[in-house]
Chains A and B, each alone.
Chain A
Amino acid sequence: MFIRTDDRITTSQAIVFMTNTILGAGILTMPRNVTQATKTPDAWVAVLLGGIIVIPVILLMVKLSQQFPGQTIFQYANRIVGRLPGKAFCLLLVCYFLIIAGFEIRSLAEVTLFFLLEGTPIWAVVLPFIWVGAYLVSGGINAIARVYQIVFPISMFVLLISFAVSSRVFDIDNLRPVLGDGFIPVLAGLRATIPVFVGYEVILTLVAFMENPRQAAKAMIGGLAILLAVYLITVIFVVGGISIDSAMTSTWPTLDLIRSFEISGFFVERLEFPLMVIWLMQMFCSFCSFFFQSSLGVAQIFNLSYQPVIFAMVPIILLSTMVPKSLQDLLLLGDMIGMMNISLFLLLVLLTVVWLIRTKGMKQHV
């Protein structure tokens, strides 16, 4: 057919979707979290290890979703554990997505108000952002994935250029010694690195939208690999550029890295401008993803139509944005999201076990 009406995304779109969902606030704060946990220059090892640990989790989710082709978690949870527990689990997931969406917007607003728009009331930053998000999300997954495809290459390009230019302050000695204190600090760092991958739960719905669900595992691992590469580069350049001591004490270490030098004689002397631009766009992507997931979840759990749910979601997201009262609360919320992430994962494992028992049991009956 020439005119397509189905809402499916290609494999490359799925990769970008995955990367853009997770790549949000983390890119500015992650170096601090990780270095504070490791206290050695081995932060990058912790990030690498964290990424590798996440891979089996992702594979589990993909496999689970592939058992129910064309269905999202909100649809098949019922079939696994029954109606009520399934619904409860899905609601939990929706709440989780909503909290992350609020968290992303709030961090965005905090950075914007601190660096760009001092004196503007927070709602003036948050409201238009949510509205533009709602406009995009109402276009369905295809429109979202397409915006990601535009934003992603731009932000990767700018990010890599920024880091490449920051090599003028890069000092390899800041990253040495490698594993000078052994592996214990790295393991301590894992506590901080696994939460930076928060958001991979989108796989549970994403696989259902793929044109080729068979390539889901490849796509998701691909998305994670890109993400891991970006995080690794970020940590290496931040620690190498401003050293571990500065990374630990700075609230937004990546911005500080870029702000710690000027390229005189270049038209954009101050690279935090392009960096802020792409970061804002990246935050928009990440936020829209969670917005979409939660609206979809509500629509599918309660059998509502998708468009009105978006309107209902807008004020809820706003409320969730406004709950933290200070930056400290926000950072605390970030840690809590990390914990929620782990407990949700455990719940999911439980779900899988139940499902395995059920199917196995059925086979025995046959």
Chain B
Amino acid sequence: MSSPRKLVLLTLFLSAILVMPTGCWSSKEIEDVALFTGIALDKGQPAPIEKEFESKGATYSKRNKVMATLQLVPFKSQKKQGKKQNDQKSTFLNISGSGDSILEILRQFSIRLDRPLMGHHLKVIIISVDLLRKQSIEQLTDFLLRDNEIRPSTLVYVSQGPARETLMSKKLNEVPSFHLSKAVRNRSRTSKVLKPITLSRLDSLTHSKKSFVLQTLVTGGGELELSGASIINGSTGQWIGSLNQENTECLAWLSGDRNAGVIKTDDWNGETITYEIKSLRSKITPQVKGDQISFQVEIHTLGRLIETWDEQSHPTTNDYANALDKRLEDKLAAMMEELMVKLQSKYKSDVAGFGRRLAIENPAAWKKVKEDWDNVFSRSEITFAIKVRINDFGSFTED
């Protein structure tokens, strides 16, 4: 009676013991993996260390099409117990390699590092303009979209200079990739920071073959700045030009997705007048007459006169405000005009969402011009109706 039961229990116990060491297949401790939080993609050329390796014969078959730089965190030289960090080095490590497949480059790092790489915490991808001139963005991000670890919430930037430089920082205790992913928070202060493009947005943009803009990064003196935007052509997926900071601001106002920022102009005496936008509403209305497509853009803003250098003026009167409104409207119209010239004539790309408005309002017309939209757009007539209202003079009054 009891012996078969004992036997069964014994077998169960033994099999449990057998399973134990073979179990925990996917288990890897969090401190035993190397998180990378940023990837910078540059024009293909061997990184300095790589050159040294290669000169000693450590090579594999590849074409140098792209150089990838990973930012690994946290990277610290042995934490000392009990002591305050007195000689702390940088908290991150950048590692570069080149090749013709991004995954292969990443795997190549595995023979240089002591811990396996893990991409769950990737925050930013930076692609240099030089690289985007040669390769399409779809090719470059294909792996990043397919990978199961990299999240679609990763932000994508373009860098004016070498992308790997954006991942360097001279500041202590600052990880540049975190800095970049958090800089987006400044959108509430200025429209020069564009609506962030995540990998999933990038995917839908490239799949729909639309032209779009990516925020451009400029580095200098160990610091970086978000400056302007790069236009990526929809059909080729390559970089075709860039917009300066004011163009970028205008673009944000045009698409109406952010109502922040300042407009600065001169008043009659040539002194600075600064206007801060409190609310902004923009509306693009497509009009189709036969083959001719035109757009009517209305922009209304309400805001506050926040700074004036003119000592003679009387900012609290209505007349003064109305007169200033006019000046500001002119200034804004001029800025918009500049942007439209660039988009329509110079780059022939619709990155402001005119096509999308047309598709929503008039699907039939859109279907006809869809294939050749960037050209049709560059011929379309666009008129602006701009209204700027000052309704607040701040907490300082002068008579």
Contact = CB atoms under 8 A, between A and B. Distances in A.
Contacts of A119: 25-26
A246 B204 contact: yes
A355 interface: no
Given A118-B26, A124-B25, A176-B360, A249 B203 contact: yes
A261 B196 CA distance: 11
Interface in A176-231: 176-177, 180-181
B26 A117 contact: yes
Interface in A232-262: 242-246, 248-250, 256-257, 259-262
Contacts of B366: 180
B383 to A, nearest CB: 22
A118 B148 contact: yes
Interface residues on B, range: 20 to 34
B200 A245 contact: no
A131 interface: no
Given A181-B363, A245-B208, A260-B201, 4 more contacts: A120-B26, A246-B201, A246-B203, A260-B199
A116 B28 CA distance: 12
A115 interface: yes
A121 B151 CA distance: 24
Contacts of A245: 203-205, 207-208
11 contacts: A120-B25, A176-B360, A177-B363, A180-B359, A181-B363, A242-B200, A243-B204, A244-B204, A248-B207, A260-B153, A260-B201
A259 B153 contact: yes
B356 interface: yes
Interface of B is mostly: helix
Interface string B170-210: 00000000000000000000000000001111011101100
Interface string B349-393: 000000010011101001100000000000000000000000000
B152 interface: yes
A124 B23 CA distance: 9
Contacts, number: 70
A16 to B, nearest CB: 33
A7 interface: no
Interface string B136-151: 0000000000001001
Nearest to B205: A245
B391 to A, nearest CB: 28
A329 interface: no
B363 A260 contact: no
Given A246-B204, A246-B207, A261 B25 contact: no
A177 B286 CA distance: 14
Contacts of B26: 116-120
Interface string A161-177: 00000000000010011
Interface string A83-116: 0000000000000000000000000000000111
Contacts of A120: 25-26
A272 to B, nearest CB: 8
B204 A242 contact: yes
Interface in B49-71: none
A256 B366 CA distance: 29
Interface of B: 23, 25-26, 148, 151-153, 198-201, 203-205, 207-208, 356, 359-361, 363, 366-367
**B148, B201, B204, B359, most chain A CB atoms within 10 A:** B204
Contacts of B153: 259-262
A121 B153 CA distance: 29
Contacts of A262: 151, 153
B207 A249 contact: yes
Nearest to A264: B182
Given A245-B208, A246-B200, A180 B152 contact: no
Contacts of A248: 207
Contacts of B199: 260
B148 A260 contact: no
A250 B145 CA distance: 9
A259 B151 contact: yes
A249 B206 CA distance: 11
A176 B366 CA distance: 13
Contacts of B361: 177
Contacts of A261: 153, 198
Nearest to B361: A177
Contacts of B208: 243, 245
B267 to A, nearest CB: 38
A262 B185 CA distance: 13
A165 B360 CA distance: 26
Given A243-B204, A260-B198, A177 B359 contact: yes
B204 A121 contact: no
A181 B198 CA distance: 29
B200 A260 contact: yes
B149 to A, nearest CB: 8
Contacts of A115: 148
Nearest to B367: A181
A131 to B, nearest CB: 13
Contacts of B201: 242-243, 246, 260
A283 to B, nearest CB: 18
B31 to A, nearest CB: 18
Nearest to A182: B363
A209 B14 CA distance: 42
Given A180-B363, A181-B363, A248-B207, A121 B25 contact: yes
Contacts of B205: 245
Contacts of B203: 242, 245-246, 249-250
A162 B23 CA distance: 33
Nearest to A244: B204
B217 to A, nearest CB: 21
Contacts of A257: 200
